[in-house]
Amino acid sequence: MKVLANDGISQNAVDILNKNGFVLYLDKIEQDDLTNFINLNKITVLLVRSATKVRKDIIDNCKSLKIIGRGGVGMDNIDVEYAKAKGILVINTPAASSNSVAELVFAHLFSGSRFLFDSNRNMPLEGEKKFKVLKKNYSNGIELRRKNLGIVGLGKIGREVARIGFGLGMNILGFDKFIEEKSIDVNFNDENAYTFKINLISFDEILEKSDFITLHVPAQKNFLIGKKEFKKMKKGTSIINASRGGIIDEQELIKNLDNGKIKFAGLDTFENEPTPSLSILMHPKISLTPHIGAATSEAQNRIGEELAKQICDFYKL
């Protein structure tokens, strides 16, 4: 039983797999060499994150594969249904990184609402000589408390965002096209049975009523937020995307940041990863991170452990 963790895996997962007799390969294999490596070494389990693509060519040409695992939630880099049709088990870790992504959303929200992303650029350059000017520039921030937070997509990550938002005293607005109920409950604390209710409203109402909008949806064929959607938002709305690139029309985003319709944006994912456009990277009203939503030590440990346990369960170890 041989496992290739092509985008890396946590040490606790390595320990679990080694203890159960798996041969583990941790070297990064380039995409073009992947099929040959899998066949040469008779790899039975391929573990990836977002960097490695597992398309039909690999699935068709690597007959030894029994399991394809994705460390994280989204599986748009894997031809999931095709793999399943070929008898390959496809696994992921939908719950393991939820809290990490949700906390990053609020890192961007705090950064934008208090101009931290811009202040941290300018203080090293001008803070010594223009302290009072910068103080004036950054003195009209806003609080998150009592503001409307619109959450689009109420899976595990969206609900974690809601939980933190409730703790901050925000008004939580929710939309999810796959949920038919009028409301859903969110547990506020793992140790106590405090619950808060999210009232579900339409997507258009989210756009019209929210002070902040955060997106938690899978990869889309078309923009979820484009010219029409920006037009429906109220002036001064801010938007966060820590889900998938290509959900927001970035050119329309820039136009609406420039004309003041959108106050600021926080982006962890981009249309053209791993080469985001310079117009996005250099924009003074965008808080930026390089797709690190799940990249905390705690999340990686949970992801690795969950993958390892699913693999052991498959082999009944």
Active site (catalytic) residues: 244, 273, 291
- β-sheet bridge partners, residue 152: 175, 215
Three-state secondary structure call for residue 67: strand
Element at 122 (helix H, strand E): helix 116-126
Q: What ranges make up the beta strands (E) of the chain?
A: 2-5, 23-25, 45-48, 67-70, 89-92, 148-152, 171-175, 183-187, 195-200, 212-215, 237-241, 262-267, 286-288
Q: Give the Cα separation of 46 and 6 in Å (integer).
A: 7
Q: Give the Cα separation of 75 and 307 in Å (integer).
A: 14
